[in-house]
């Protein structure tokens, strides 16, 4: 998982804080396996860092058909990581590719060298995309919660990229402070709390898997397959789920809640951690109407949040929530957003998705093909 545009360095990138000068030279290079611990620490240390820029995420995707992953980093003269970008490449027609940096790039936005770090990452990503015969490189960094800072970030990205016509990740979400109350459920809506209590009366029980138990993964993936068929979305394979779980189990960051009634799986949710932040990555439930009355999703969410809080997790990102009457977000997301909004949380808007056009001719051809596909259905 290295970039042909960059030469790996033997220097070790560290994230421990030491005095830095804005004049310190920054170096762009491909990350190697030796950088894993430092990369992980850097992503965990940044408020804008999340699962999609974690080493584990790229590692899980590396064996997926049609996916190629590369990792670039910027380090200062002392070897401290100042920015990272994990980039996915997917092949298209005629040997071309489309590249994507999910919830990235990620850099120290508060440092004296922040502008230089971002500039070097963008330069490196563009070189990598050209070597990959890329048509377009898509970027969608996470929001910081500071509207002024995010507006400045948008202006910086617009010097080299253009706003994308659609988002690849949800443009808005909510984050729940898991340490605000002794019981996270206290922040839920009245109706949601009542549903969780009813689940208990119905005999619904929840087990938390943090060990990557094969039986739990099998049961959850079966529920996920049910849900995808019912709601019409694609899912990852069971093997992928296991590959994602393995390194997160090793680091103590894997949390799977499985709600059951008399041994029958009702609902489940996966919320892996990056640093002290968890992400409500996957959720699924049975289509059986009788079993649905056992309120499995509410029971799973309640015990998931309690387990995360007990483990010292600071927050849970609900991973995409449309706010009521927000016309900037696809209205089709309203259904699952109604469910998620019942758990409270603070709204967060991301800066958006940006397209860095690598090959203008092929980009126009691809754009025409996409428009034609939408017209003919």
216 in any annotated domain: yes
Residues in the chain: 377
Is 60 exceeded by the pLDDT of residue 18?
A: no
For residue 156, give Cα distances in angstroms to 118, 149, 170, 354: 9, 11, 21, 11
Are residues 207 and 147 part of one domain?
Answer: no
Are residues 140 and 89 part of one domain?
Answer: yes
9 in any annotated domain: no
CA gap 315, 317 in Å, rounded: 7
Are residues 369 and 306 part of one domain?
Answer: no
21 in any annotated domain: no
How many separate domains does the chain show? Answer: 2
The mean of the pLDDT values for the chain is: 92
Evaluate whether 182 touches 309 at the Cβ level (below 8 Å).
no
CA gap 228, 214 in Å, rounded: 21
Are residues 145 and 46 part of one domain?
Answer: yes
Measure the CA angle with vertex 39, ends 34 and 40; round to 5°: 110
1 in any annotated domain: no
Evaluate whether 204 touches 294 at the Cβ level (below 8 Å).
yes
For position 20, what pLDDT does the model report? Answer: 47
Are residues 225 and 361 part of one domain?
Answer: no
Is 50 exceeded by the pLDDT of residue 277?
A: yes
For residue 61, give Cα distances in angstroms to 65, 204, 282: 9, 34, 16
Evaluate whether 206 touches 260 at the Cβ level (below 8 Å).
yes
Are residues 211 and 276 part of one domain?
Answer: yes
CATH number of the domain bearing residue 146: 3.40.630.30
Integer-rounded Cα radius of gyration of the chain: 21
Task: Render pLDDT for 287-310 as a digit per residue (tens, 0 to 9).
Answer: 999 999 999 999 999 999 999 999
Are residues 148 and 195 part of one domain?
Answer: no
For position 367, what pLDDT does the model report? Answer: 77
Are residues 240 and 259 part of one domain?
Answer: yes
pTM: 0.90
Task: Render pLDDT for 188-215 as a digit per residue (tens, 0 to 9).
Answer: 999 999 999 999 999 999 999 999 999 9
Are residues 267 and 178 part of one domain?
Answer: yes
Task: Render pLDDT for 149-195 as a digit per residue (tens, 0 to 9).
Answer: 999 999 999 999 999 988 999 999 999 999 999 999 999 999 999 99
6 in any annotated domain: no
Nearest in space to 51 (alpha carbons), one of 319, 260, 314: 319
The H-or-E segment that residue 290 falls in is helix 289-292
Least confident of 68-72, 299-303, 313-317, 361-365: 361-365
142 in any annotated domain: yes
Residue that has been written with the tokens 């094969």 in this structure: 214
Are residues 259 and 290 part of one domain?
Answer: yes
Structural domain boundaries, residue 59 = 26-168+351-376
Are residues 277 and 213 part of one domain?
Answer: yes
Is 80 exceeded by the pLDDT of residue 368?
A: no
Sign of torsion over alpha carbons 110, 112, 114, 117: negative
Are residues 239 and 207 part of one domain?
Answer: yes
């Amino acid at each position: 998982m290295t970039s042909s545009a960059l030469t790996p360095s033997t220097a070790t990138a560290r994230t421990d804080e030491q005095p830095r000068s804005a004049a310190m030279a920054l170096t762009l290079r491909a990350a190697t396996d030796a950088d894993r611990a430092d990369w992980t620490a850097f992503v965990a240390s940044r408020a804008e860092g999340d699962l999609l820029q974690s080493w584990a995420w790229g590692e899980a995707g590396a064996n997926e058909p049609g996916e190629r992953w590369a990792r670039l980093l910027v380090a200062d003269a002392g070897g401290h990581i100042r920015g990272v970008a994990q980039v996915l490449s997917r092949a298209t027609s005629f040997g071309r590719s489309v590249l994507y940096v999910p919830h990235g790039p990620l850099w120290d936005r508060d440092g004296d060298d922040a502008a230089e770090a971002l500039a070097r990452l963008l330069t490196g990503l563009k070189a990598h995309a050209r070597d990959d015969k890329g048509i377009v490189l898509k970027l969608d960094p996470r929001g910081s919660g500071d509207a002024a800072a995010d507006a400045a970030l948008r202006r910086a990205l617009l010097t080299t990229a253009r706003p994308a016509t659609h988002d690849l990740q949800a443009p808005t979400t909510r984050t729940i402070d898991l340490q605000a109350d002794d019981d996270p459920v206290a922040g839920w809506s009245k109706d949601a709390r009542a549903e969780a209590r009813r689940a208990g009366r119905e005999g619904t029980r929840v087990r938390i898997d943090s060990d990557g138990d094969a039986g739990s993964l099998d049961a959850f993936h079966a529920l996920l397959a049910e849900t995808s068929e019912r709601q019409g979305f694609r899912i990852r394979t069971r093997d992928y789920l296991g590959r994602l779980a393995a390194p997160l189990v090793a680091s103590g960051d894997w949390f799977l809640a499985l709600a059951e009634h008399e041994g029958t799986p009702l609902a489940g949710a996966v919320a892996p951690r990056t640093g002290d932040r968890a992400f409500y990555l996957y959720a699924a439930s049975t289509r059986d109407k009788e079993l649905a009355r056992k309120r499995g999703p509410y029971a799973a969410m309640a015990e998931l949040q309690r387990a995360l809080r007990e483990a010292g997790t600071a927050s849970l990102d609900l991973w995409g929530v449309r706010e009521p009457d927000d016309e900037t977000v696809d209205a089709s997301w309203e259904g699952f957003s109604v469910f998620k909004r019942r758990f409270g949380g603070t709204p967060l808007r991301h800066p958006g998705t940006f397209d860095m056009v690598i090959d203008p001719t092929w980009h126009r051809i691809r754009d025409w093909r996409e428009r034609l596909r939408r017209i003919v259905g």
